Homo-oligomer: A and B are copies of this chain.
Amino acid sequence: MGKLKMYTDRMSQPSRAVLIFCRVNGIDFEEIKVDISKGHHLTPDFTEVNPLQKVPAIVHGNLKLSESHAILVYLASAFTGIADHWYPTELSRRAKINSVMDWHHSNLRNGAVNYVIHTTLAPALGRQLNPKAAIEAEKVLLSSLKALEDFWLNGDDGGFLCDNTQPSVADLSMVCELMQLEVLDERDRSRILSPYKKVLQWIENTRTATNPHFEEVHNILYRVKKKLEQQRARTAETGTDPSNRMGGPSKI
């Protein structure tokens, strides 16, 4: 079987999750960059890999696979030497991990990705900011954070989802999702996250458990954060609308 090929855009949080998983677990792979802001996901070459034109996607031998959760679960099973805590073999523990990952799609992911796009990243994707959609997304994001705090992280201080004491693929996926809030205005990010103490601690636990790879893969996000902070500072000085200053999709 040939070397694992991973088609990713590090600006996509599910891409970051699968990259960190491979790095942490010493899986040998070739990273093929698919820059969504430049439309690389729409090229014939990438469409051959994933006809649905989404990242991340992998090719491993004859298998072409998309959807980050399916990829994480496959990698945890297909490669030897992956510690059991990433995707426990015991059925009840595995079932809880599957449950929180299923819940994620229409809740945390839905809320976080739409909030960040409609308040911040839309201009970089060639779209208009949409305050009304942002309000709807914020409702979903806040109810998801409450469910994380009160239910999914409400164990005996295991420090990870579903009362685990070590991270699973679910922790990695969902913390990467929340990391995109880094690009928000810092006061807004703090307003949203600060009431959720267990969530904040869980982000740190996952970061610590997967460093230095976690920080290395998130570097691109920190660069965008810095650039957006500079734009906001200039806007505060000049009073110009930041959505007009960001220009085209390749500017950040």
Interface residues on A, range: 20 to 34
Q: List 30 A-B contacts (CB under 8 A).
A: A51-B150, A52-B103, A52-B147, A52-B151, A62-B92, A63-B95, A63-B96, A65-B95, A65-B96, A66-B103, A67-B98, A67-B103, A68-B102, A69-B102, A70-B95, A70-B96, A70-B98, A70-B99, A70-B101, A70-B102, A71-B95, A74-B94, A74-B95, A74-B98, A77-B91, A77-B94, A78-B91, A102-B105, A105-B106, A106-B110
Interface string of A35-48 (1 = CB under 8 A from B): 00000000000000
For the complex, give the distance between the alpha carbons of A68 and B98 in Å.
10
- Evaluate contact between B103 and A106: CB separation under 8 angstroms: no
Q: In this assembly, does A10 line the interface, its C-beta being within 8 Å of a C-beta of chain B? A: no
Give A66 Cβ to nearest chain B Cβ, in Å. 6
How many protomers of this protein does the assembly include? 2
For the complex, give the distance between the alpha carbons of A151 and B105 in Å.
21
Interface string of A235-247 (1 = CB under 8 A from B): 0000000000000
Given the known interface contacts A91-B78, A105-B105, A151-B52, the answer about A98 and B73 at a Cβ–Cβ threshold of 8 Å is yes
Given the known interface contacts A74-B91, A77-B91, the answer about A66 and B99 at a Cβ–Cβ threshold of 8 Å is yes
Q: In this assembly, does A109 line the interface, its C-beta being within 8 Å of a C-beta of chain B? A: yes
Interface string of A74-93 (1 = CB under 8 A from B): 10011000000000000110
Chain B residues near A71 (CB-CB < 8 A): 95
Of chain B, the residue at the smallest CB distance from A105 is B105
